[in-house]
Amino acid sequence: MNESLGALHELSGPQMRAMAESVLARLIPHIESLRTQPALGELRDAPQQCRSMREPPPAQGVPLDDLLAPLFEQWVPESFNSAGPGYLAFVPGGGLFPSALADLIADGVNRYTGVWQAAPALVQLEANVLSWFRTWMGFPPETQGILTSGGSMATFSAIVAARHKLLGADLRRGVLYTSDQAHHCVLKAAHLAGVLSDRVRMIESDEQLRMRVDHLAAMIEADRAAGLRPFAVVSSAGTVNTGAIDPLDTIADLCAKEELWHHCDGAYGAFFHMVPSLRPALSGLSRADSLTLDPHKGLFLPYGTGALLIRDGQALRAAHGAHAGYLPPLADQEFYDPSQLSPELSRPNRGLRVWLPLKLYGSAAFIEALEDKHRLAKRCANALAQLKGVEVFAPPALSLFGFRVHSSNEATKAVLDRVNAKRRVMITGCTVGGTFYGRVCVLCFRTRAEHIDACIEDIKEAIDSGL
């Protein structure tokens, strides 16, 4: 494709094919070489680079190849290789290629999946996916859900639903509880939902960084005594810091007794519930009133796919439903209508990018991959625990754990810097109450034993070289 396109006419068949071929000719070799690409790209002078990219709106078109060249040769490589097998940082996922094809189809046909009537069968595919999630998470049949752009938006809609159902118009007295290890999206979601920071309690966590339910109970009692209205608890099914899982069953018991809404943040951990051997670690998850899931993590999909499940589907609808005279009459409630269950109206067809890979591979392949990531994380934690000077914070219940070197923040940071400078793997850390932990998170479907061994080797070498 060496010519610019000119007017916005429909492209001819051969033109469309040629454009798609140009893209695939770059994309497929890129994906094939992920294994040999560095785990983090060269980010020389990012501010300078970004400043140099600023430009006025393009009045004339340029040929596709001229646009693809810097994209694939420069801009993509200048980033964390968040799709690669050596990416053990933050929370990876990888991005399954069939989802990219599903997006191509979704964008190519560009049918409207914001309201049920516009594309009932396509919307039903999304409903099917949500009902599969419900089954895997052990939620009851009346559960409703919604596919979102990510875990943050799922958590937001859950808090809005809980607030609407339990507080009505009495917003200001409502109090929400979470732990000091909760993901920062919980605070953000509470704030956006009208629960301001002076009404969010960050409950202290125990020595394993799980929410202390005795403190939670005491805080609820104190708030009630002060005339406030406790309404929701947000627990974690795997924290982003160290993978700690809150005592979900005990929290569920307390919420039942106190008549509070229990939302569980499973953005990192929930999909491990699909693995029978790991289900006991997540015991109580199925009892939550609502659950955040992140298919772009635990189902290895590309970024932009989160999900929410809500036991009381009517509460989700009551908080988000709206109608206008110019739209088709509302669908029968038997059918899933995204516009009635989320803040969005027009939206991307998110169902297809989940549905296609699940149907293509079948759930057994995902269960096997999740089990494998758990085993690899254990292999890594066990090997690190053998190294002199290394202390593994807690063996990985799922596929994420923290570690420290020489019980020192500086030494731990120095090890991370040296490991990342080698660029075979990328690991990141977190600070918890002044203590810095290195963390290893294994959740890219491409990660294999050889990458874990490279991680162990590079950490060992960094320590042996003296700090």
Ligand X SMILES: *Cc1c(COP(=O)(O)O)cnc(C)c1O
Tell me how long the chain is. Answer: 467
Task: Give 296 or 446: the residue with its C-beta nearer to ligand X.
Answer: 296
Residue 162 — φ and ψ, nearest 5°? Answer: -65, -45
Task: Give 91 or 232: the residue with its C-beta nearer to ligand X.
Answer: 91
Q: Minimum CB separation from ligand X for residue 45, in Å?
A: 27
Q: Minimum CB separation from ligand X for residue 62, in Å?
A: 34
Q: Minimum CB separation from ligand X for residue 303, in Å?
A: 8
Task: Give 306 or 357: the residue with its C-beta nearer to ligand X.
Answer: 306
Residue 58 — φ and ψ, nearest 5°? Answer: -75, 115
Characterize 65-87 residue by residue with b for buried, 16 or more Cβ atoms within 10 angstroms of its Cβ, and e for exposed. eeebeeebeeebeeebbbbbbbb
Burial class (CB in 10 A: 0-12, 13-18, 19+), 231: buried
Task: Give 174 or 298: the residue with its C-beta nearer to ligand X.
Answer: 298
- Estimate to the nearest angstrom the gap between the alpha carbon of 138 and the chain centroid: 20
Structure letter (DSSP) for residue 317: H
- Measured from the Cβ of residue 368, the count of other Cβ atoms closer than 10 Å reads 12
Q: Minimum CB separation from ligand X for residue 11, in Å?
A: 34
Q: Minimum CB separation from ligand X for residue 137, in Å?
A: 15
156 sits in the region (left: phi over 0; alpha: psi -120 to 50; else beta) called: alpha
Q: Minimum CB separation from ligand X for residue 296, in Å?
A: 6
Q: How many Å apart are CA 310 and CA 318, to the nearest integer?
A: 12
Q: Minimum CB separation from ligand X for residue 405, in Å?
A: 24
Q: Minimum CB separation from ligand X for residue 224, in Å?
A: 28
Task: Give 41 or 269: the residue with its C-beta nearer to ligand X.
Answer: 269
Task: Give 91 or 123: the residue with its C-beta nearer to ligand X.
Answer: 91
Token reading at 76 = 């993509």
Task: Give 302 or 306: the residue with its C-beta nearer to ligand X.
Answer: 306
Token reading at 306 = 């989160």
Q: Minimum CB separation from ligand X for residue 178, in Å?
A: 11
Helix axes 120-137, 350-361, angle to 10 degrees: 60
Q: How many Å apart are CA 69 and CA 207, to the nearest integer?
A: 51
For 2, the 3-state DSSP assignment is: coil
Residue 142 — φ and ψ, nearest 5°? Answer: -80, 0
- Please report, as ranges, the residues that interact with ligand X according to CB under 6 A: 91, 150-152, 183, 185, 239-240, 265, 267-268, 294, 306
Task: Give 139 or 268: the residue with its C-beta nearer to ligand X.
Answer: 268
Q: How many Å apart are CA 31 and CA 28, to the nearest integer?
A: 5
Q: Minimum CB separation from ligand X for residue 156, in Å?
A: 9
Q: How many Å apart are CA 22 and CA 28, to the nearest integer?
A: 10
Task: Give 240 or 254: the residue with its C-beta nearer to ligand X.
Answer: 240
Task: Give 185 or 367: the residue with its C-beta nearer to ligand X.
Answer: 185
What is the DSSP annotation of 365-413?
A: HHHHHHHHHHHHHHHHHHHHHHSTTEEESS--SSSEEEEEETTBHHHHH
